Structure 1
């Protein structure tokens, strides 16, 4: 199925502007926008590579690019993965705002000179973990609007087996967990997040369905204890990313 560029845009009647156009690349039915949907969804065009939709050239991406997570490895035998790495590299070179999550963050790291290890020795990171923000996160164009400078830690949901083990040379390291250090980083206009800020009850239920009974129970229990805070963080991150996008196109609304 070819990408037709259909845009779901909402007119702002108060200033006759439309929402920024954001291309969202989804490669797995279990990894959708979740908590990010309210902020990003109005101007989003979701492209499903897992359903055969073709990646657009950079000039058809719109105002920003979001690359969601998924169960594939970064070098899996899927022809669109190489194209997506190229698209991420081109977006960074052109200064297009990018939000890359989970698999998306791993692809961003590899595309810009980093390295991902398949099934590293610490093992899978699943469930709620504490995200430790580094000093640069408070100054980041997106995370600076999300990070609590007093607490410096945030409960987030992790759901990955592979991990970024070397950041790109020009990356700014922004956050870590106790199990894996490279949970957040920035390369130019792109923010990469290994954790899953989009996690909501529906997505967590989908992830749990692929785990054994004990792992699924732990994931659901941990998420239920932190669901409200995880949802606030995801919504705040989505809004902050869209503020960056609006600023990049000269739209002062919420920028």
Structure 2
């Protein structure tokens, strides 16, 4: 059986696949990375069994400066319509929301930055990816915009006190995470150096090397199994939300 092929949309070089890529490769998933600033997005999802959309410093609707954002939204909308397992992170989650009828805006409470907790919502208990997560997992936050309104019919899966729409599912298997799970300490430190104004919103010790290394060990303990479940979804070994009965592999 061939390895499932996953399309990775990368809006910015500042947010690479990093640990997420390592975890997916370890799960036997083949990755096709498309740096959207430098390479045209595919016309369709033919030949792909899953989609990942990463983050970036631009806004989800900043098409004048980044016209390829429209292609990313188109592919994410197609993924929902075709029930292709999708994992969209930070900007990716905002693009997913905007592509499927939600609303994105600049966060009125300012940047959300640092190693923080999110809390699962009731709907997470029945979700194939979220059910086994701790109730309040640690995540890495570094964003200025928010998903203000979820897409119609979306399942709300996790919240934070500052911005409630932290994780959601559109359709049966397209997931948006406002937070980051893919980072390394070095990536986070590079973001803080490039955007010191946003970084100043976090507690100062959140950018200490030792603190970040410990936090990322905690992230891996929680989120690597989550990514493993996403890989099972891509391989057709895990039933999407709302499905029952026997499912054949997708590849």
Normalization by structure 1: what TM-score? 0.84
Q: Which runs of 5+ in 2 are unaligned?
A: 238-246
Equivalent position of 2:84 in the other structure = 96
SS at match of 1:59: coil
Shift of 1:61: 5.3
Return the structure number with greater helix share: 1
Long gaps (5+) in structure 1: 1-16
Name segments (4+ residues, structure 1) moved above 4 Å.
Answer: none
**Aligned pairs, number:** 231
Find the partner of 2:223 among 212, 217, 234. Answer: 234
Pairing 1:243–2:232 present: yes
1:40 and 1:238 in contact (8 A); partners too: yes
Pick one of 4, 17, 21 that aligns with 1:37: 21
- Tell me the equivalent position of 1:207: 191
CA deviation digits over 1:152-199, x for unaligned, max 9? 111111010000110011100000111110000000120000000112
Q: Which residue of 1 aligns with 2:10?
A: 26
Q: 1:89 to 1:201 in 2, by over 3 A?
A: same
Structure 1 range deviating more: 160-169 or 37-46: 37-46
Aligned pair 1:192/2:158, yes or no?
no
Aligned partners of 1:75 and 1:81 also within 8 Å: yes
Distance 1:65 1:140 in 2: 19
Structure 1 position 114, deviation (Å): 0.5
Q: CA offsets per residue over residues 21-74 of structure 1, 9 Å max, x none?
A: 001001111111122112323410110012x20110223351101000010001
- Determine the structure 2 residue equivalent to 1:53: 39
Q: Is 2:171 aligned against 1:177?
A: no
Whether contact under 8 Å (1:36, 1:234) holds in the other structure is no
- Which of residues 103, 111, 131 is equivalent to 1:124? 111
Q: Give the CA deviation at 1:138.
A: 2.5
Q: CA RMSD in A?
A: 2.2
Q: Which residue is 2:58 aligned to?
A: 72
Aligned to 2:130: 143
- Residue 237 (structure 1) shift: 2.2
Task: Tell me the distance in 2 between the aligned counterparts of 1:153 and 1:160.
Answer: 19
Give yes or no for contact 2:45–2:75 (8 Å, CA) kept in 1.
no
Q: SS state of the match for residue 68, structure 2?
A: helix
| Counterpart Cα distance in 1 of 2:85 and 2:120 | 21
